[in-house]
Every structure is written in C-alpha cells, then in structure tokens.
Amino acid sequence: MIARTAALWLALAITSHAGEIPTVAEDAQRGEFLAVPIPQVDPALGTGLVGAAAYIFKLNPADEVSPPSILGAGALWMDGGSWGGGLGGKFYLREDRFRIMAGGVFADLRYDLTVDSGSATSSTVPLGQEGYGGLAHAQFRIAPHTYLGARAQFGKLGTTLRAGDPSNLPDSILEEIGLLQSVNSLGPSFAFDTRDSAYYPRHGIALDADISFHFDSLGSDVSMNRYEVNYRQYRPLRDRDVFAWQAYACATEGDVPFYMECQVGQNSLLRGYSFGEYRGNAMIAAQAEYRWQFRPRWIAAAFAGVTQVAPEFGAFSMAENLYAGGVGLRFVVEPNNGVTLRVDYGVGKDEDAIYVSVGEAF
C-alpha cells in the first residue's frame, strides 16, 4: 500500500500546470508532454506498475477544428511475472476530416483465469500468454460528425498452462493450450461523434460500431467474426460537473477462442469484475457515472452498471444480470486537454477491484 501511494503522488507531481479543465485546448501552438507511473492492482495479474508517456499536440497549429493528436508509449511489469510494452498514436487531420490510429504491442502475460468449474464455486486456471500484435485504423468524414473507415489487426498469440492438470480444464480452454496462432482481422468501422473533447467530454454523443472478420485469406488461424457497438453520452450539470452514461453490445460467431469472446471486466465494463469468469458469444452492458469537480484539478466520481453475457442474444435472462458500482477520484494531470489520472474502486458480485489509469473509463 505504501509503494502504491508513493507512486500515485509522484504521478500527481509530474505536471504543474494551473487552471481548470477547459472544453478545448487553450494553446494550439504548444504541445503537452505527460509522463505518469501508474500502479496496478489486478485480481488476475497481481500487483505492479505501468509506465506511460504521451505527447499531446496539434499536427497543424492553424487547424482550429481538429482535436489534439496524441503519441504514446507504455511498459508493464507485474509481480506475477507479466510484462510488456507498446507504442501507438491517434491523429486528427485536415480539420478533423481524417482520423488515423496505429500501434503495436508485445506482452508476456501470466495470470489466473477464473472459470466456471461446474460446481457451486468457480476455480482459477494459471495461464501464460505470449504474443505481439498491431493495429491500423483509418476513418474519413462522410457527413457532419459522421465517419466511415476500416481497421486491420494482426498478431500472434501462444497460450500455455503454467501449472495443474490439463484434463481438468474446460474444453474451450484446453483446445487452445500449446497453440501459437495468427490472429488477423479486417473490417469496417463507423463513428458518430459530437463530443466537445476527445479526452474529457462535458457534452455530446459518441457512437462507435465495428466489425472484425478473421479468415484464412488474411493468414489468420482463427476463423470468426466479432461485432461491437459502443454508445456514450455526456451532459453538463451545475457549473463543472458531468453526467455520463454508456450502452454497449458485443457478439461473436464462428470458431471463437476463449480470449476473444465477449467478456465482462474488459475496457471498464464493468468495474468490479476480473476478466474471464463471465464470457460468451453475446454481451450487453450499461453504466452511468457522475463526475463532481469539487476543485479545479480534483474530481470525485460515483458509478453503477449492469451487464450480462450469454451463448447468444436470444438467451439473455433478467435473472442472470450482473451488477456493479463504485466510487473514484481523479486528478487533472494535463489541464489544457483535460487528461485525468483516475483511481476507481468497483464492487461486483462476490468480488471487488481497484483501478488506476490515465483517462476516463468511457
């Protein structure tokens, strides 16, 4: 606890800008550099540290329409033996007519995957996964606030059992043990975005819809399709507060590896659950969050949500809903663009978790 607290306060001290969070960047002529050590506490991976650095800047200082672009790099180390690193960036060009995102990552993950053992209690499986991957995503504006594009992903991933008897594994996991698979995909993407900020929106709507096709012609060993829809809305309240809510749906079909199923706990859906235990070919989720800015650079948050996974969309049942809620604290580490360092505590069904990250959950 002492080490995590020290790292957190070090992160808060890295930047020393004054002022409130503006709705737009105050100085388009000058980029902002951000470096933050982020302590991590994860039920599956253990305890560790992520070092993140980012440069937020305008590609064209004379462009008053495009949001600031960002270049970032990060490295991960966990006490359970996991480590990794990555580089990436998202760029806004020509008065926000074009949006381009690209990046690459390498990771060696060692974690305990929670699975349904078929009894009254769940069990954990000690897995190792090593691989690398990359992403290229480009969109162009086809109407006001509306974008159409394509995204390509590639990578290789190997899965191993670190300990235990393989005969006790569920078939969905056992069939992946010992395989080194190419996981490549290509598909269309759509976005509708009226937010006033890409980093800390106070009002507006963001809707993203993506389809990923994995097939042999791309060199993929995995044959499947994945569909995702992600809707977020933001509303200002009082002078500086924000009420935000999110609705999400995911579906997969084909020969889907367990690690590519729709999973509760990924991408902050929902905070309070470790990933892996609740997964399936269909998932729906909704969550809401109130962000109270009680000081120019301090924000308190309260959030709650509900989700469910099922073998298919027709199999959802109200009795299988999973609920979660929690509270959090944010510090504005980069006021010009509203970039926050957040600490959240989430409580789910029979478990809880602490999250430390740069940027909002949604």
Q: What does the pLDDT look like over 138-195, one tens digit per residue?
A: 999 999 999 999 999 999 999 999 988 787 788 888 899 999 999 999 999 999 999 9
Instruction: Look at residue 274 in the predicted model and tell me its pLDDT.
Output: 82
CATH of the domain at 305: 2.40.160.50
Cβ 166 vs Cβ 177: under 8 Å: yes
Torsion sign, CA atoms 14, 20, 23, 27: negative
How many Å apart are CA 97 and CA 140, to the nearest integer? 6
| Structure confidence by residue, pLDDT tens digits, 1-28 | 333 333 333 333 333 333 333 333 344 4
Cβ 184 vs Cβ 153: under 8 Å: yes
Instruction: Look at residue 277 in the predicted model and tell me its pLDDT.
Output: 81
Tell me what the mean pLDDT of segment 244-267 comes to.
Answer: 94
Instruction: Look at residue 215 in the predicted model and tell me its pLDDT.
Output: 92
Instruction: Look at residue 84 in the predicted model and tell me its pLDDT.
Output: 97
Neighbours of 325 (CB within 10 A): 18
Question: HSE on the CB side for 148, CA within 13 Å?
Answer: 3
Instruction: Look at residue 358 in the predicted model and tell me its pLDDT.
Output: 85
Short-list 113, 84, 80, 82, CA closest to 258: 113
User: Using 50, 70 and 90 to split pLDDT, how confident is the model at 122?
Assistant: low
Tell me what the mean pLDDT of segment 247-274 comes to.
Answer: 93
Instruction: Look at residue 74 in the predicted model and tell me its pLDDT.
Output: 95
Is it the case that residue 258 has pLDDT exceeding 80?
yes
Instruction: Look at residue 120 in the predicted model and tell me its pLDDT.
Output: 52
Residues in Cβ contact with 324 at an 8 Å cutoff, skipping those fewer than 6 apart:
270, 271, 272, 273, 287, 304, 305, 306, 307, 346, 347, 348, 349
Residue listed under structure tokens 């991408």: 267
Cβ 51 vs Cβ 34: under 8 Å: no
Question: Strand (E) positions, the chain?
Answer: 32-42, 46-57, 69-78, 83-93, 98-115, 123-143, 146-161, 180-182, 185-193, 204-214, 224-237, 241-254, 262-263, 279-280, 282-295, 298-310, 322-334, 339-347, 352-358
| Structure confidence by residue, pLDDT tens digits, 310-338 | 999 989 999 999 999 999 999 998 888 88
Question: Strand (E) positions, 44-196?
Answer: 46-57, 69-78, 83-93, 98-115, 123-143, 146-161, 180-182, 185-193
How many Å apart are CA 258 and CA 173, to the nearest integer? 6
Instruction: Look at residue 297 in the predicted model and tell me its pLDDT.
Output: 96
Cβ 165 vs Cβ 306: under 8 Å: no
User: Using 50, 70 and 90 to split pLDDT, how confident is the model at 30?
Assistant: low
Instruction: Look at residue 272 in the predicted model and tell me its pLDDT.
Output: 92
User: Using 50, 70 and 90 to split pLDDT, how confident is the model at 37?
Assistant: confident
Instruction: Look at residue 350 in the predicted model and tell me its pLDDT.
Output: 87
Instruction: Look at residue 29 in the predicted model and tell me its pLDDT.
Output: 53
Residue 294 CA: distances (Å) to CA of 119, 214, 286: 47, 47, 26
Question: To 5 degrees, how large is the angle CA 129–CA 40–CA 293?
Answer: 135
Q: How many domains does the structure of the chain reveal?
A: 1
User: Using 50, 70 and 90 to split pLDDT, how confident is the model at 116?
Assistant: low
Tell me what the mean pLDDT of segment 255-271 comes to.
Answer: 91
How many Å apart are CA 206 and CA 229, to the nearest integer? 11
Tell me what the mean pLDDT of segment 40-53 comes to.
Answer: 84
Instruction: Look at residue 1 in the predicted model and tell me its pLDDT.
Output: 33
Q: For residue 170, what is the DSSP state? A: -
Distance of CA 90 to the CA centre of its chain: 15
Is it the case that residue 304 has pLDDT exceeding 80?
yes
Instruction: Look at residue 223 in the predicted model and tell me its pLDDT.
Output: 95
| Structure confidence by residue, pLDDT tens digits, 59-111 | 999 999 999 999 999 999 999 999 999 999 999 999 999 999 999 999 999 98
Q: For residue 314, what is the DSSP state? A: G
**Average model confidence (pLDDT) for the chain?**
88
Instruction: Look at residue 179 in the predicted model and tell me its pLDDT.
Output: 92
Strand partners, 136: 102, 152
| Structure confidence by residue, pLDDT tens digits, 282-296 | 999 999 999 999 999
Q: Which structural domain, as residue segments, surrounds residue 203?
A: 2-358
Instruction: Look at residue 357 in the predicted model and tell me its pLDDT.
Output: 85
